[in-house]
Chains A and B, each alone.
Chain A
Amino acid sequence: MSARPDRSRVKGAALLVLVALLAALVLSACGGGGSSSSSTSESSGASEAEAEETSGGEAEEESGTETAAAGAKAWCGEEGVTLGIQDGGGLNNWSKESQEQVQMTSKECPAVEKEIVVDADFEPQKAVSGIQSMISQGANAIVIIPDSGNCAEVPAMRQAMQRDITVVAWAADPCGTEGTDYTKYIDWDTKAAGREWAEWVIEQMGDKGKLLYEGGPAGNTVSSNAAEAIAEVVEEHPNVELVEPISAEEWPVTNWDPAETKKLTAAILAKHPEINGLINDYGASVEAELQAFQAAGREIPATAASESNALSCTWKEEKEAGHEFPLMTISSRNWLGRYAAQYAIAEASGGTPPDLKNGGIFSLGQWENSVSGKEPECRPEESPEASFSNEMSEEETAKIALEG
Chain B
Amino acid sequence: MTALKSRVASPFAAIWVATLLLFVISPFVASGSLGHSALQGMLPFAGILAIAAIGQTLVIQQGGLDLSVPGIFSMGAVLVVTIPGGSEGSLIPALIVVAAVGLAAGLLNGIAVTRFGITPLVATLGANAIFIGVVIQATGGSIAFKATKNWQEFTADKVVGIPILAVIAVIVTILVALFISRTIWGRRFVLVGSNPLAARAGGLSVERYQIGAYMGAGLAYALAGALLSGYLQSPPLLPGNEYLLPSIAAVVLGGTALGGGRGSVIATTVGVLFLSQLEQVISALGAKTAVEYLIQGAIVALGMGIRNVPWRRILPGRAGADDSAAADPPTRQPDTQTTSHDTASGASRIASQ
Chain A residues within 8 Å of B, Cβ to Cβ: 1-4, 8-9, 12-13, 15-16, 19-20, 22-24, 26-28, 30-36, 54-55, 90-93, 95-96, 218, 244-245, 250, 253, 257-260, 262-267, 269-271, 284, 287-288, 291-292, 295-296, 310, 380-385
Contacts and interface: CB of A to CB of B under 8 A. Distances in A.
B144 A383 contact: yes
Given A23-B75, A27-B138, A383-B142, A91 B238 contact: yes
B234 to A, nearest CB: 4
A266 B97 CA distance: 32
Nearest to A12: B115
A27 B242 CA distance: 21
Contact of A259 (B116, B232, B283, B290): B232
A23 B131 contact: yes
Given A91-B237, A258-B236, A23 B108 contact: yes
16 contacts: A9-B115, A12-B111, A20-B130, A23-B105, A24-B134, A31-B82, A32-B144, A266-B41, A266-B42, A267-B283, A270-B38, A270-B284, A310-B233, A383-B142, A384-B145, A385-B142
A364 B232 CA distance: 30
Contact of B142 (A16, A96, A244, A292): A96
Nearest to B152: A291
Given A24-B138, A262-B232, A263-B283, 17 more contacts: A15-B111, A19-B107, A19-B108, A19-B111, A30-B82, A30-B97, A33-B141, A36-B142, A36-B144, A90-B141, A92-B236, A93-B141, A262-B45, A266-B37, A266-B40, A270-B33, A270-B280
Taking each of A28, A258, A260, A310, which has the highest tally of chain B beta carbons within 10 Å of its own beta carbon? A258
B343 interface: no
B213 interface: no
Taking each of B144, B284, B288, which has the highest tally of chain A beta carbons within 10 Å of its own beta carbon? B144
B76 to A, nearest CB: 11
A69 to B, nearest CB: 29
B233 A291 contact: yes
B140 A266 contact: no
B113 interface: yes
B112 interface: yes
Given A31-B82, A257-B236, A384-B143, A263 B284 contact: no
B331 interface: no
Contacts of A218: 288-290
Given A91-B237, A93-B141, A258-B236, A310 B146 contact: yes
Nearest to B239: A259
Contact of A260 (B83, B104, B115, B242): B242
B279 interface: yes
Contacts of A20: 108, 130
Nearest to A90: B141
A385 B237 CA distance: 11
Contacts of B79: 26-27, 30
B43 to A, nearest CB: 10
Interface string B203-244: 000010000000000000000000010011111111100100
Contacts of A31: 78, 82, 137-140
Contacts of B290: 218
B305 interface: no
Interface string B23-65: 0000000011101011011100100000000000000000000
Contact of B138 (A30, A244, A384, A385): A30
B13 interface: no
A258 B228 CA distance: 10
A27 B140 contact: no
A244 B286 contact: yes
A270 B112 CA distance: 46
A238 B284 CA distance: 25
A269 B37 contact: yes
B35 A33 contact: no
B135 to A, nearest CB: 7
A33 B104 contact: no
Given A244-B286, A271-B32, A257 B142 contact: no
B136 interface: yes
A27 B284 contact: no
Given A263-B45, A266-B38, A4 B115 contact: yes
B101 interface: yes
A257 to B, nearest CB: 6
A295 B39 CA distance: 12
